[in-house]
Chain A
Amino acid sequence: MKRTTLLSLLSSVCAMSIALAGVFASPALAQNPPGPEVCAACHAAQAESFADSVHGQKGHPRSPANAGGCVVCHGDGTEHVKAGGGRGVGGIINPSPRNKSMPAEEKSKICLSCHSTDRHLAFWDAGQHKKNDVTCSNCHNPHTDRSLNNDKMLRVDTPAATPYRTTVRQLAYETCVACHREQRAQILKPSHHPIVEGKVQCHDCHEPHGAMTPVMLRAESYRDLCLTCHTDKRGPWIWEHRPAAENCAICHTPHGSSHNRLLAQKPPALCADCHQGGHTHGIYDGRGTIPGQNPGNIRIENSGCINCHRQIHGSNAPASAFGRFFLR
């Protein structure tokens, strides 16, 4: 009850301030849009975060602080002030993702009016996010708390289920999974890249600001991307495993898997999709299947085919060491 009363009181004071500001408006205010000091009367938290952010730095030659402050993004607030404020009142521009009355492209235009010269946005038009009506404000909130390494002003209000984390940093994936629900489940699977642990970020592999590759990869192909970190798999090899030389995603699924090593399936079933022949009759040659049966089958136990074919990404062993079969 006390909380409600206090809020009502604050609202009244705010409304009165706006009304008085309108009555006693100076001629200058009548001609120029209201500045940040006027906005701060009602939007104190936003004004404070603006002043604290790069947008609020007058030392930055291209910052909104040098171009009128709040009006750069939110438009001329004169009518908004005259009307006593309120969400969307007086034509005030609100590019929040919750504002569905404003088309996505219009919201992005506000940011792009300054950031279109950003080289990271060169492929924004070619990317999937623009095509799918994702706007800058879906991921970034210029009024957010930038502490704890949140330099990119990512939205921090997305609830994400996580295991225990030893980092307190704001992690980018929490912003991404607000829309990418499929990946939200995948990154929690037993085998995963250390995304929820904060050691790999979604943007290490994907370029959220647009790319010309199908899933906005940061490299020209899956293989090129994977080999950025997994440099020991680059080769070139004397004996190549052809799928590994063409596309890592044939065997691995990058966001998460039930199986070790982010494998798309569990060997030997994975290998059997391409290798029907060999080993007399394939992997199930009559030695049975799982351990605990007599006889067991070493082609199925443990890592399956990988038990012996460990150098599966490529081998440099000679023919006499069966390098061709990735044994050494």
Chain B
Amino acid sequence: MNRKLIPFLVGSLFAATAAAAADDEFTLSGSVSIGARGTSREGGTRNGANATSATTTAPFTGPRDEAKLNEYRDVSGGAIGNIDLQGRSSQDYVRFFGENIGRDDEFLNLRGGQYGEFKYQLYQDKMPHNLSWNALTPLSGTGGTLLTGPGGVYPSTPGTNAQLENSANWKAFDYKLQRNTYAGNFEFTANSPWHVRVDYVENQMEGVRPQSSRLGTGSGNGMIEFGVPVDYKTKTYSLDTGYSTKEGSWRFSVLDSKFTNGNPLMQWTNFYMQNALDTNLLPPDNDLKRVSFNGMLRQLPLDSTLAVRFTWSKQTNNFGVTSGGLMPTSSASPPPVGGVGTLVTTPSSGTFNGDTETRTASLSYTSAWGGGVDSRIYWNYYDTLNNSTVVTYAQGFLGTGPCPGASFASTSTATQFCIGPYPNSLLSYNKQDYGIDVGWRINRGNKVSGGANLLEVDREGREDAELTKESKFWLEYKNSMLESLSGRLKYQFLRRRSDLNPAFPPGTSPFLNNTGAPNTGFTPAQVPYYYRAYDVSNNDQNQIKLVLDWTPMPLLDTGFELGLKKTDYKALYYGRTDDLRQEYNVTVSFGNPKQFRITGLANYEIVEFNQAYRNIAAGQSPTPGGTQTTTTFDWGTKNTQTNRLFGLIADWPVIERLALKGSYTWTKTGGGVDFTSGSPFTPAGQGNYNGGPLVNYVTDNTKKQTLNLKGDYKFDKRWSATLGYVHEKYDYADDQMRSYQSYYPYYQNLGGTNLSWFSGAFANPSYKLDVYYVMGTYKF
């Protein structure tokens, strides 16, 4: 596509230029910049050892990962440049901008038209999305849809399959995606209130992204991480027309967006399942159709404006329903030779017709009442109806049948493995929110505003909360009486309550005892009174925001922003109990950008939230508190996330010909999880049950420093040069990734039958980057 688009863009540019040049007044100006870039790059390594949890052997340093420093950009060395052309006559214009030509982040944009009559645009935007490089896998064929293993026995006894166990024998590959956009549009207005516009956008994404799968029939059987091929294409066509005057406007548009995936499924060797081929289904093709209507009327009584919007959309797809999955024929773990088969759970429909229809309506009426009072009333309606095929999977078994009962999740014995039956459950919901905002400008320097909003979500197909209501009230005061100081203080209160339908579907008791079976000593209906999902749980939330802008003296500008949000979750004992978010932002700028200006930025953000849970032995009470034993006890977590930013930016036009710019930024993120446990297990502080300690750990601790220096020198009106240097350093530490960084290797052995194979994705994205560049620019 690119090979075609570039000549087309250039050809179009010259064609447009030639046409416009027929007009005597046509002028062409612009600039061309050409230069070179040198880079020094160093990615982080994933250190590990081919080992078991009991013995560490053969330490090794894994390959470097430079993906993060290339995440959304192509920083490789070589030629760099850009071109910026602007052509114009009294009636026509054409503009072209291109940069990073031939690179992964190439950008080309051609725009033109005739003033008031029509305009057009063709553009191309390429973006790399590098996720993690030099990952390792024992599977061959990454990038394709068939990943095969080396064969041999499943190493339930360490040391029995060197090909699987020793990452020195594995293959390296990159998790990377390339997303390219090719688009164009044409708009015709003929200097009238009417407009017609057509758009075409094509997005292509290719590459390999992380995928993983559980190996056996439970989480204790381990997992494997591998690369899944990506070959996506989305083509979107739209037509937009309307009529617009000062008194009002309307607009009607239709859109069709088709997504296609070149790889509907992939297969991979499942070591646990006796090296049989397992199957992962990849995103199916889909089609989105959308129609929308906007209308607006101005100059109504009380200087009012009425705005309305209606949309209808439909997402559809269609594919054959698969029925078989790789399963063992018994509870033996790992399955013996001949102990694996394809378990078929016959679906009620051989075809799935995905069909989700959404209707929305919005209305807004704003008025100016005089005396500085204004108001807005609004209503938003959103209704999604999932008309997709209801698929019920029948019971299925491997080994000696039939299954022991009619309703269960899955069960296995020494002679059989049973699943089902399972019906799918489709979510439909309806949202409505309505409210009023009122503002009163008391005088030029004082304004008070307030508002109220009520949101209702009515769900079908979500048993834990069929109805959620949110009430929101806010009050704001703004003061700008002083020329040098202005401020804004806002308070908001939000109250959320959900109705509960405790009738859980059979076999889905959310409370399980320590054998994994439903806690039969207590009815499932009891559970929801103690536990509620975060996104629907009742809560009261208070929020404060303060913004101050102060100019204490000429050339000195300061800004301060404070945000506080505290949420208390109500009527529950388990799950998230409360959270608090604090954020502080400061900006100080001194000087005049035309002479010298230095700006300082700072940010501090901390989010803290607490969670409460309970381990329960069979027949024990699900309620919190009471006697704590080693098998029935309360436990919880305290989670923290922090973000710090400090930046300095300087602009210094030293002389008319020379301008210097520099910036330094330092960002640091941190956080972690601290545990509490009521278990009396000794030694104290251990979580017990299986004897594993609950060790506090840190997550996503990162630090990044960036130094950016740039100088522009103008030789004359036409020629100039740019010289720059950039240094970036990114450090990463995360205890959840310690598999790679200290003790465990890519290959992990948790025990006899729960082996896992990690590829190293995102394990250590640390990097160092130095960039030197020089560029010459000619303006004409």
Contacts and interface: CB of A to CB of B under 8 A. Distances in A.
The reply to whether chain A is a binding partner of chain B is yes
Interface of A: 54, 57-63, 100-101, 103, 116-119, 122-123, 125-126, 131, 133, 146-149, 151, 157, 159-169, 181-182, 184-186, 188-190, 194, 197-199, 212-213, 220-221, 224, 227-229, 231-240, 242-243, 245-247, 250, 258-260, 265-266, 269, 272-282, 284-304, 306-308, 310-311, 315-324, 327-328
A190 B669 contact: yes
Given A279-B219, A292-B738, A316-B319, A232 B283 contact: yes
Given A274-B575, A284-B675, A317-B281, A185 B259 contact: no
A225 to B, nearest CB: 12
B22 to A, nearest CB: 14
Nearest to A167: B99
Residue of B424, B483, B603, B754 most packed against chain A (CB within 10 A)? B424
Interface stretch (B108-116, B143-151, B165-173, B492-500): B108-116
B623 interface: no
B754 A303 contact: no
A289 B645 CA distance: 30
A213 B380 contact: yes
B535 A250 contact: yes
B535 A274 contact: yes
Contact of B514 (A54, A146, A280, A322): A280
Nearest to B730: A190
Contacts of B587: 181
Interface stretch (B7-15, B57-65, B332-340, B388-396): B388-396
B195 interface: yes
A57 B115 contact: yes
Residue of A54, A126, A194 most packed against chain B (CB within 10 A)? A126
A190 B103 CA distance: 24
A302 B737 contact: yes
User: Which label, helix, strand, loop or mixed, suits the secondary structure of the B interface?
Assistant: strand
Given A122-B307, A298-B754, A161 B649 contact: yes
13 contacts: A59-B89, A100-B483, A117-B249, A123-B309, A126-B305, A159-B651, A182-B583, A190-B730, A236-B317, A281-B616, A295-B751, A299-B219, A316-B284
Contacts of B324: 318, 320-321
Nearest to A57: B115
Nearest to A236: B354
Contacts of A282: 613, 615
Given A125-B364, A235-B315, A259-B699, 18 more contacts: A57-B93, A59-B89, A126-B305, A159-B649, A163-B665, A164-B708, A164-B771, A166-B99, A168-B82, A184-B585, A194-B71, A236-B316, A258-B702, A266-B699, A275-B533, A290-B697, A291-B738, A318-B321
Contact of A148 (B84, B211, B294, B364): B84
Interface stretch (B134-142, B156-164, B238-246): B238-246
A177 to B, nearest CB: 9
A148 B97 contact: yes
Contacts of B219: 279, 298-299, 308
B43 interface: no
Contacts of B690: 285-287, 295
Nearest to A281: B615
Contacts of A167: 99-100, 105, 107
User: Which label, helix, strand, loop or mixed, suits the secondary structure of the A interface?
Assistant: loop
B256 interface: no
B1 to A, nearest CB: 18
Contacts of A148: 82, 84, 97
Contacts of B31: 147
Interface bracket on B:
35 or more
Contacts of A122: 244, 249, 251, 294, 296, 307
B378 A126 contact: yes
B427 interface: yes
A48 B606 CA distance: 48
Contacts of A190: 669, 700, 702, 704, 730, 732, 765
Interface in B18-70: 30-31, 33, 53-54
Given A163-B728, A164-B708, A288-B695, A316 B281 contact: yes
Given A294-B54, A301-B739, A238 B352 contact: yes
A311 B246 CA distance: 50
Given A185-B645, A290-B736, A199 B125 contact: yes
Contacts of A290: 695, 697, 735-736, 738
A306 B509 CA distance: 22
B471 interface: no
A321 B326 contact: yes
Interface string B362-389: 1110100000000010101010001011
A59 B20 CA distance: 13
A125 B687 contact: no
Nearest to A328: B280
Contacts of B53: 294-296
B429 A246 contact: yes
A174 to B, nearest CB: 11
Residue of A63, A250, A275, A293 most packed against chain B (CB within 10 A)? A293
B619 interface: no
A287 B692 contact: yes
B762 interface: yes
B693 interface: yes
B454 to A, nearest CB: 13
Contacts of B635: 284
A290 B459 CA distance: 38
B212 interface: yes
Residue of A229, A236, A250, A327 most packed against chain B (CB within 10 A)? A236
A318 B322 contact: yes
Nearest to B639: A269
Contacts of B246: 116-117
Interface stretch (B399-407, B713-721, B742-750): B742-750
A199 B651 CA distance: 25
A162 B708 contact: yes
Nearest to A266: B699
A109 to B, nearest CB: 12
A260 B647 CA distance: 23
B282 to A, nearest CB: 8
Given A119-B249, A122-B244, A190-B702, A301 B362 contact: no
A286 B54 CA distance: 18
A235 B284 CA distance: 7
A300 B82 CA distance: 47
B728 to A, nearest CB: 6
A151 B111 contact: yes
Contact of A298 (B232, B576, B750): B750
B313 A272 contact: no
Contacts of A231: 203, 232, 234, 257, 259, 286, 288
B541 interface: no
B2 interface: no
B437 interface: yes
Nearest to A146: B86
Contacts of B391: 238
A280 B95 CA distance: 63
A319 B692 contact: no
Given A162-B708, A167-B100, A119 B478 contact: no
Interface in B571-617: 574-576, 583, 585, 587, 589, 593, 597, 599, 601, 603, 605, 609, 611, 613, 615-616
A157 B591 CA distance: 12
A242 B459 CA distance: 10
B753 interface: no
Nearest to B560: A181
Nearest to B508: A277
Contact of A319 (B109, B257, B345): B345
B355 A319 contact: no
Contacts of B72: 194, 197, 199
A277 B352 CA distance: 30
Given A232-B283, A266-B700, A117 B244 contact: yes
